A and B are shown apart, each in its own frame.
Chain A
Amino acid sequence: MDDRELLMRYRDEDLPAAEMGGVRQRLRNDVELRSTLERLELVTAALEASAAASFAPFFAARVVARIRRSGSAARVDEMHEALRWMFARVAVACLVLVVGIGVYSAAIGGGYGGSMLDAMLGLPEATLETALTLGG
């Protein structure tokens, strides 16, 4: 511990009683130590005087306004997130339904002898006869 640290602890009365007495004794006899203490006091006073007491006027109102803005932004974000969550599940359900219908169509329409895609889409085999039938 150097003299400056010792003096700071002395000022804070953060030393054992015996050491406090020792510092007091030294201060009586040691001009350099007294001078260090004086400089320390001056710097301390300057620092205390430099403390800012407040921000610009209406600081609290600005904080509350910012909280309101961030609150409404958060609500919009929450709504976006909820919509995204819902549509993701709807998309998966649609996909499962399409695949299910495709598999079902392929299973029941496999006998037509057309392509697998036609079977999955439930399309009957297109022949001249069916075309004429469909055409009326």
Chain B
Amino acid sequence: MAEGAESTTDRELIERARAGDERAFHDLVERYEPRVAATVVGMLGPGDEAEDVGQEAFIRLYRSVDRFRGDSSLGTYLTRIAINLSLTALKRRKRWRSRFVRQDEGEREGPEGSWDPRGQIEREDMARKVRAAVDRLAPNHRAVVVLRMIDGYSTREAAEILDIPKGTVMSRLARAMERLEIEMKEWKDG
């Protein structure tokens, strides 16, 4: 995902944030909110938990802004923080579920209606179903799908963010996409 002309301005905002300019940091948050939201909501689904993880990602950035050297773009740096926090939240959620939720509850959010990719179904409804399907993927597969297919990172960038080889990204992505295809076919047929 190219950073383009905004990089210089990012640097300026970072410098001002380092100097304690709250407004500059506010502007950085507004600028990168869509990217962090796509990552976090893709990983965790919409809700309070995603909001909390999104806020935490920016707070981590604020605390480390003095150490940010600009080796990677700010977007990639933030996405790395967001994806790691999301994976931690998923582990926490799994532990919580294993303690407090019965095995047969919350396993599947049954799809409603039929799936028509040519636009007969409301976009929101479709988005909800897709998120539910992504939510059922294993966390490491989910991370690859979110970075590669929702956030729009290249395979190389996704591999760098997750610190895994490119080949692993591709193989996880292929398996995850196959799983999603099956789910969508079930909606269509069901």
Also in contact, A55 and B51, with CB within 8 A (given A49-B123, A49-B126, A70-B59): yes
Whether A59 pairs with B26 at a CB distance below 8 angstroms is no
User: Is A31 on the interface with B (CB-CB < 8 A)?
Assistant: no
User: Is A48 on the interface with B (CB-CB < 8 A)?
Assistant: yes
Chain A residues near B37: list those with CB within 8 A.
52-55, 59
Whether B33 pairs with A54 at a CB distance below 8 angstroms is yes
Whether B177 pairs with A46 at a CB distance below 8 angstroms is no
User: Is A83 on the interface with B (CB-CB < 8 A)?
Assistant: no
Whether A47 pairs with B145 at a CB distance below 8 angstroms is yes
Q: State in angstroms the CA–CA spacing of A44 and B148 once bound together.
A: 10
Whether A51 pairs with B42 at a CB distance below 8 angstroms is yes
CB distance from A93 to the nearest CB of B (A): 36
Whether A43 pairs with B181 at a CB distance below 8 angstroms is yes
Q: When the two chains form the complex, which single residue of A39, A55, A68 contacts B181, counting CB atoms closer than 8 Å? A: A39
Q: When the two chains form the complex, which single residue of B46, B54, B180 contacts A43, counting CB atoms closer than 8 Å? A: B180
Query: Can you name 9 A-B pairs with beta carbons within 8 Å?
Result: A4-B178, A40-B181, A50-B42, A51-B151, A52-B37, A55-B54, A56-B51, A60-B30, A67-B25
CB distance from A102 to the nearest CB of B (A): 49
Whether B173 pairs with A62 at a CB distance below 8 angstroms is no
B44-79: CB near A (< 8 Å → 1, else 0) gives 001000110011001100100000000000000000
Chain B residues near A89: list those with CB within 8 A.
none
Q: When the two chains form the complex, which single residue of A52, A63, A70 contacts B41, counting CB atoms closer than 8 Å? A: A52
Q: When the two chains form the complex, which single residue of B34, B41, B170 contacts A8, counting CB atoms closer than 8 Å? A: B170
Whether B154 pairs with A49 at a CB distance below 8 angstroms is no
User: Is B5 on the interface with A (CB-CB < 8 A)?
Assistant: no
Q: When the two chains form the complex, which single residue of A44, A53, A61 contacts B38, counting CB atoms closer than 8 Å? A: A53
Also in contact, A55 and B126, with CB within 8 A (given A5-B170, A67-B62): no
